[in-house]
Amino acid sequence: MIRGRMQQMSSDAKKNMPLTEALVFDIVEYLLNNTGYGYSNEISFFIVDKKPKRYTSREVVGILRNRPMFKHAKVSERKGGIRWRLDVNSLERYLFQKGFEKKAESRGFYEMIKELKADQIGKSKLILEREAEMDTNQLYEALSKVWA
């Protein structure tokens, strides 16, 4: 009986995640490799080019719109569609709720998240060190480019 449970557990651990969740992971990977940001067209092109028989552009955009970790970045330019940012706090909650922590760890997401956070904090520190050179609006604009 114990042996049967062990085999069942190992087969459960090897199960592939649903295609929708695999797409979420591919988009997250793209954003983590691009400082946490990307435009709809760029993300869609990357995903569809990487796996042309699996996903369509509409599916990619649908996932961007309907998952809590993908947020609109507040920018006025729209050179490649809507600009999206990765909300790493929402991503971490999502991975925990779905039970995908091990899959995320195996793809290196937690290390990439840590590097992204460190990069954003470092950029913010540099901006704040130059605070005396800027007025309030310039400072706010510079910080919002890092975090928006």
Distance between start and end Cα atoms, the chain: 54
Q: Which residues of 37-55 are buried (b: 16+ CB within 10 A; e: fewer)?
A: ebbbbbbbebbbeeeeeeb
What is the value of pTM for the model shown?
0.80
| Nearest partner of 116 among 90, 139, 147, judged by Cα | 147
What is the chain's pLDDT, residue by residue, as a tens digit (148 residues)?
Answer: 444 443 443 344 445 778 889 999 999 999 999 999 999 999 999 999 988 888 889 999 999 999 999 998 876 666 778 889 999 999 999 999 999 999 999 999 999 999 999 999 999 999 999 888 888 888 888 888 787 6
Q: Which residues of 130-143 are buried (b: 16+ CB within 10 A; e: fewer)?
A: eeeeeeeeebeebe
AA letter at 56? T
Strand partners of residue 143? none
Question: Alpha helices of the chain — where are they, by DSSP H?
Answer: 2-14, 19-32, 40-50, 57-66, 88-98, 101-106, 109-129, 136-147
